[in-house]
Amino acid sequence: MSQKIEGFFLRSTKLKQNVLLVDLYTFQHGRSSFIFTHQKKSPFIFQPFHFFSFQSNYNPEKKLNRANNQELIFPVINIVSDVRKTGLAILLTEILNKCINNFEVSPSLYVHIKKMIISFEHHDFNPVFGIFFVKEILHFFGINPQNNYDEKSPFFNISNGRFESKKDDFFKTNFPHKEFHQLLGMNIDTIFDMKLSVDKRREILALLLEYLSYHEILNQKQIQSVHVLQSIYD
């Protein structure tokens, strides 16, 4: 029986003219793959940070399911028209695609990502959103860092996921531990006011990717679009 499914874009592969294999993270079934036919005159919605609903005779036993009647759930006009936002969307979608490759159904993760992307669409561009977004998904993988920063514990330790008295060998001497502590305390309502220099954002992003790699959630060497983010910062 056909059912209405809601999901957000992870990646797509063109099978033939107007036919796409699309990987989505869905509210109902977690990560799933669908075959869509794109009508030439219809808006192309199979892009990073796009959420859409569709119909499918979904069978969880199948690796591929056919889908149709796809409709965009909400427009992301500012994201697709601002090259800076588009660049971040590409990078963060690639990170999500690697992280949730075998992730189970989590409506709370789906809703949280949706909330962040809607806020990103409606706020002025702030590149800090990129590292905030990655920080926010850590909780859903059970590796949320402990934000115990103080004078006695000023150095973040990757293996222990907390601030400690001795510096981790991973970090450069000038790593912005205090700013990372501040980032950990931010939420979606305050993050767009946070300001960080280019170097500090890069160092914190490198830390977050290393942290995910340490916990074997992704291989940071497979993230190909980091240079997109760096070109935005430059």
- Residue 195 makes CB contacts below 8 A (sequence gap 6+) with 128
Burial of 24 (0-12, 13-18, 19+ CB in 10 A): buried
How is the chain split into domains, by residue range?
3-72, 77-233
The overall average pLDDT reported for the chain is 92
Task: Determine the average pLDDT of the residues in 25-31.
Answer: 96
Quickly state the pLDDT bin for 233 (edges 50, 70, 90). low
pLDDT tops 70 at residue 234: no
Q: Residue 140 and residue 149: Cα distance in Å, rounded?
A: 22
Residue (of 189, 211, 233, 77) closest to 135 by Cα position:
211
Between vectors from CA 112 to CA 197 and to CA 57, what angle results, nearest 5°? Answer: 135
The per-residue pLDDT for 229 is: 62
Q: What is the pLDDT, as a whole number, of residue 228? A: 60
Whether residue 58 contacts residue 65, with contact meaning beta carbons closer than 8 Å, is answered with yes
Taking the C-alpha atoms of residue 151 and residue 149, their distance in angstroms, rounded to an integer, is 7
Q: How far apart are CA 133 and CA 188, in angstroms?
A: 9
Bridge partners of 9, per DSSP, are: 24
123-171 per-position pLDDT tens digit: 999 999 999 999 999 999 999 999 999 999 999 999 999 999 998 888 8
pTM value is 0.93
Q: Which residue has the higher pLDDT, 43 or 186?
A: 186
CB 162 within 8 A of CB 156: yes
Note the pLDDT tens digit of each residue in 89-136.
Answer: 999 999 999 999 766 899 999 999 999 999 999 999 999 999 999 999
Name the percent of the chain lying above pLDDT 90.
82
Helix axes 128-137, 83-99, angle to 10 degrees: 20
Asked if the model's pLDDT at residue 35 lies above 80, the reply is: yes
Contact between 18 and 37 (Cβ < 8 Å):
yes
Is the pLDDT confidence value at 57 over 70? yes
pLDDT band of residue 70 (cuts 50, 70, 90) is very high
Could you tell me which residues come within 8 angstroms of residue 39 by beta carbon, excluding any fewer than 6 positions away? 18
| Three-state DSSP class for residue 175 | coil
Tell me the CATH class for 3-72: mainly beta
